[in-house]
Structure formats: structure tokens, C-alpha cells
Structure 1
């Protein structure tokens, strides 16, 4: 794989900002870059725009991507960042954006930011309904789901300056949903159908449809109703209440420190595990319950803000609306009952 790493390009660590630079996140424009740093920004801008052009996306998509990369990495291909974040957009392997090597490839990272029917799992720009009519900063936030949502709009002018230097046409027309499964936001998307036994998805699971939307970040303000003693976001707590009603009060647990996996959504109050009463590979009743829990979660994801579901060696993403093989994310043993999620359904919420 060919990886372009132009940063730091002569700059020291404190000259190139990471996703969460020291000081107050969300402050205004960075000082205008000059010399080698500006040259590398222009080079990365051209790579991002080349991806957008090849996909048939409008210039507005390039502008939003440039604003986002300026906030996240100062438009540099960083090999470090907050937690496990790397690359131009500070995408996280632990959140499903790909391997560190994938994300450090600027072309891959740009394609991942723009989204569509191909992996990785998190929703990209084209998966966000109505993004062309959003404020530019809000569209960026819909993809990044940042704790500092106001930062992106502050970098519009700088993004336009770099685009001008790179001779990028930000007024270019295009299909705002190019590459999205099912076509544009108004196009018909097929009704979920059960997967056939022995097929890629296993017995009884339904693919559903892409359901990515604009889900603003939330703080952990609600005591976990599953009794862990931790705190959940309001959206996660609402999902618990809905699941208990619809699924006849299954056994579940949400908040957990997850010290072995600091990138997990559990300590952030954005994830729950629904237990099926045993290994679904060995107990038919457990498999049937897990399929039922997973299918209901997928079918209601657009209303509840579910981001992804893991069950029975598969992971479903709101971005793609499809089940794909689950490899453990480099943390879990996918062959074990727990690591492969054969004994519980994992649900992560935006």
C-alpha cells in the first residue's frame, strides 16, 4: 500500500496540531501556514478533491472535507492523535474507520470521510440525509460526531484559501449522494429481507437500510437504568427503555469501565450489551433471541440513533445498512463466545 506522509514536513510536534490540541478546543483560525506546511496542506487538499471528483461529488463536499481536516489535523497526515486517532481526519481504528495503515493512506481516508456503500462502517458525508442543505460546519459534525461541534465552521475561510491555491473548483456541480447505497436521499431503498440460511449473514438476520442521520453529541447525564452505577447519555437511556418495552425486558448491561478496551463506547455511556442466555452456536433458543434482538435494533435504528450492532460474528452499520463479518477489531477473539458476540448483542449509540 502506498502511504503519503508529508507532515510534519520540517515542522516540530508543536507546530502541527492533532485532533485535540493543547489549549481550548474550538478556538478560531490557526495562524496562516506558510512555506513547507502550506505546501503540504495544498498537496493533501488536492488528494481529497481528486477523490471527490472521481466519485462525482460536488465542490461543496470537498469544502466540508477540507474544513474538517483543518480542524482535526491542520490538514496533515498525522500518525498520532487523541486516543487511537490518526490521519487527515483523525479517524479511529477502534471506532471502525479501518486499520491505522488504511487511515494513514490519504485516498482511503478521504473516501471514508465521504462514505458510501463500501467499508468502513461509520457514516460518511453522503450517508447523511440532507447534508447539502446543512450549514457547512453542521455537515462536518454529522460525520465526525465531535465533542466540539462548533470548531468546523471556524475553518471555512482557511479551507477556501487553500482550495484557491490548489486550484480546486468549490462551485463544481455533482451528485451529493454519489456512492451511497440505494442512490440519492429521495431514491427508493429496498425493504429489509431475511438473509438465507448459510448465507453471509447467518440465519434470520436482516440487513435493513442505511439510517445515518445528524445525531448531536450528548454528555453522560442519566444514571444507567441497568444498574451498573455508571452514567449514560440520554439517547442511550432512551434506547434501553424502548428495548425493554419491545423485547420483553431482556437481560442487559450498559456502562462499564472496559479497562482492556479504552476505545469502547461502554465507558462513554453509549453502548449496551443484551444477553441471550448462552452461546448461540450451541443453544437454538439463544440464537433465536439474539436474532430477534438484533433485528429489532436494526429496524428501529433510524429512530433511536443506533450506530452499529454486533451479533453472532457479524457487525451491522448504520452507514451501510448491511451486516458484515466481525473480526474482533484487534481487541477481541472473534472465535470465542464473548469476543465473537455469540452470547450477547452489542449495541452502540451515536
Structure 2
């Protein structure tokens, strides 16, 4: 079981030098430990699960918690990452673990769950993950999730071949084997936010198979923003950088310049004007009711689709045109307020600055020409 020293170090208490500083941190630690002890009795499984419904990836992130809940999440995130760092795993492993724990327990060390599931990752003693006492120890639970040659026996992350090149939700599901395999994807932004607050380096390189027995090919320097993911982009797509700024909300009060008859935000209309000026012969459509996807930015007047004229998987001309549109959009995003871009089976976010595999958001078939965005570039604005 984790100790008060574990939580003290995870919360930063060990770094305090002054008496006043230690007193303030001790007060916060006491509140944290009370919260951790009371958390299992303050909710039941249905209540916890209702905060993160498994309704498909990418639709929404959990509301940002404040106060002691976020303090608790940060403390546990530090413990999980300390295990990954000690093992020499890349930051990408920590990210997958945080996304998993957010879905399974809201990153809380629960003493209850579905059937006999307990702990941060809701691991089950009856399926070989360990005893209840072991699984209630966050460090043990994290080691079990990461897997390797040491017990327990269920395969962990490092036991999954090529997990580092999979979409994060697929890697998590390969370990968890959940009834809702796509649910982990919706927690990526929350996990990144917690990691940032915890001072965790998700770009850290490492051995993705650290702790695994037997021979295996070890790629060099795997990290979520490194070659393992960048190479998936292919073609002429370029990596960007995190550029998310302060873009205040806007009302839909401008007629759609693409002639749909709908209304868009001034930011969207300005992007259309700049795109038409910079790129030749664009076929753009912005506002659309999108009745099949109520979470879409199109009916909000904050998204546009730029058609490339053909299936870019079969047309080099269409691929080149789409790459040109996508790259220009990334290069100008800091001044236009672009939030994310989807093109050629990949999605780029201004918040992370990197391309990653697009999973369809629980709405579209990513293998379809339109669902995978092989015939158009989607651009969403803040």
C-alpha cells in the first residue's frame, strides 16, 4: 500500500525547505489523504462512471475538476509516471496509462468497482492481476498495467507488440479488454492537462518494451511527438508545434461565405478569405446541419471542409493538393485560430502540435474515403 511519504513526494512536499512552506504543504497533504481515504465511500460505481460515459472517442472531455479532486489526480499521475520513469519507459506509456486510469476510475484509487475491480485501473484479482491489497497500491497497479516479465500474469502494455505505433485508445484496450474499447480516446486532452500540471514529460523517450522478457526489436527514442508517430503521417504532411492561444468564443453572426445559407463565426469567415487568397481553386463548404453528428463544429459555424477532388489514396494529384492545404493551415494556425485539422486518416491539434491517427471520433468509419478524410481536409476553428 502506498504511504504518506509516497503522497508527500508525489505532491511535492519533499521539496519544501522552509517551515512555513512545509506547514502549508502538510495542511494540503492532510486534506489530500482524507480525500483519498474517503473517496471510495463518497460514490458508487454508477456515479463514477456517469462522469465519463463510454459514448465513443473524441466527442468530449470530462469537465475540468477543481480543488482536491484535481490535487488527488495529479498526485496519482506522479506516482504512475515515477514507475514509468524508473522502468525506462517513454512518456507515451505514461500518457496511455493516464488515459486508462481516467476512464476506469477518474484517476482515483477506488476500493470498489464492477464485480471485483479495484484501484486506479480497476484491475480484477479474479483474473490474475494481484490481490486487493496489491492492486490498491498505486505503484503496484501501475507496474501491473505496464506489464513485463514480473508477475502478475495478464499481459501489460509492454507485452503488446508495436503498442507505441497504435492509437492511444487501441493500446489501452489491448491491456484492459474493456466492453467499451473506444472510451479511452476521449480522455487524451484531460490526461495531457494533468501531466502538464504534474510536471510530467510526455515527450520523454525510452524503451517501449522495458521490462519485457525475451528478444524484441527496440526502436530508438520512442516518444509521442517523435518518429514513431510522425512517420505515420507520410506524404508531405509536416509536424507543427503547440500553438493553442486565447481565442475567445464568437457568435454565429456572419453569412457563410461558401454559400450554404447558414451562419458562421467571424473567425471562420476570415479563415475562408485567407485560404482563398493563399491557395488557388479551392472548393470549400462550411456550415452544415450535420444532423447525424450533433457534436460537429459545422452546425456551430466553426468548421469547413476543403475538397481535393478525388480519393487521395488513389490520386497523387489529390494527395498533393490535400497536403498543401493541410500544411498551409498548420503554418498559419497561430494567426487564424485553427483548433484542429483532419486529413488523410490523421488529426492535428493546435494543443499538441502533432499529427496522430484519426479514429473516426466514434461517428465515422476511418477507413472510408470520407470518414477517413481522404477526399477532403477538415478544418475546425476555436
TM superposition score category, shorter chain reference: 0.5 to 0.7
2: CA distance between counterparts of 1:238 and 1:101?
40
Aligned residue runs from structure 1 range 150-161, under 5 A: none
Change (3 A) 1:48 1:235: same
Q: Is the 8 A contact 1:224 1:254 kept in 2?
A: yes
Correspondence 1:209 to 2:241:
yes
Correspondence 1:178 to 2:210:
no
2: CA distance between counterparts of 1:298 and 1:225?
21
| RMSD of equivalent CA atoms | 4.4
> What is the match of residue 232 of structure 2?
200
1: CA distance between counterparts of 2:252 and 2:104?
31
Change (3 A) 1:223 1:104: farther
Q: Is the 8 A contact 1:48 1:106 kept in 2?
A: no
Correspondence 1:120 to 2:120:
no
> What is the match of residue 52 of structure 1?
74
2: CA distance between counterparts of 1:123 and 1:242?
34
Counterpart of 1:120 in 2: which secondary structure?
Answer: helix
Deviation of the 1:205 alpha carbon:
0.5
> What is the match of residue 187 of structure 1?
none
1: CA distance between counterparts of 2:292 and 2:308?
23
Counterpart of 1:107 in 2: which secondary structure?
Answer: coil
Give 1 or 2 for the bigger CA radius of gyration: 2
Change (3 A) 1:102 1:229: farther
1: CA distance between counterparts of 2:332 and 2:341?
12
1: CA distance between counterparts of 2:193 and 2:228?
31
Correspondence 1:106 to 2:106:
yes
Query: What do the CA deviations read for 1:237-267 (whole angstroms, capped 9, x no partner)?
Result: 1111111111124111000000000110000
Deviation of the 1:302 alpha carbon:
1.2
> What is the match of residue 80 of structure 1?
none
2: CA distance between counterparts of 1:52 and 1:315?
27
How many residue pairs align between the two structures? 215
> What is the match of residue 315 of structure 2?
283
Counterpart of 1:302 in 2: which secondary structure?
Answer: helix
2:286 aligned to which of 207, 231, 254: 254
> What is the match of residue 319 of structure 1?
351
1: CA distance between counterparts of 2:280 and 2:44?
55
| TM-score under structure 1 length normalisation | 0.52
For structure 1, the residue ranges without an aligned partner over 5 or more in a row are 18-42, 57-97, 109-117, 128-174, 184-192
Deviation of the 1:226 alpha carbon:
0.3
Change (3 A) 1:266 1:99: farther
Query: What do the CA deviations read for 1:23-72 (whole angstroms, capped 9, x no partner)?
Result: xxxxxxxxxxxxxxxxxxxx98434102334667xxxxxxxxxxxxxxxx
2: CA distance between counterparts of 1:46 and 1:291?
45
| TM-score under structure 2 length normalisation | 0.48
Aligned residue runs from structure 1 range 208-287, under 5 A: 208-287=240-319
For structure 2, the residue ranges without an aligned partner over 5 or more in a row are 1-38, 52-64, 79-97, 109-185, 205-224
> What is the match of residue 334 of structure 2?
302
Counterpart of 1:199 in 2: which secondary structure?
Answer: helix
1: CA distance between counterparts of 2:243 and 2:282?
25
**If each structure's helix is expressed as a fraction of its own residues, which one has the higher value?**
2
2: CA distance between counterparts of 1:244 and 1:5?
58
Query: What do the CA deviations read for 1:245-294 (whole angstroms, capped 9, x no partner)?
Result: 11124111000000000110000000000000100000000000000100
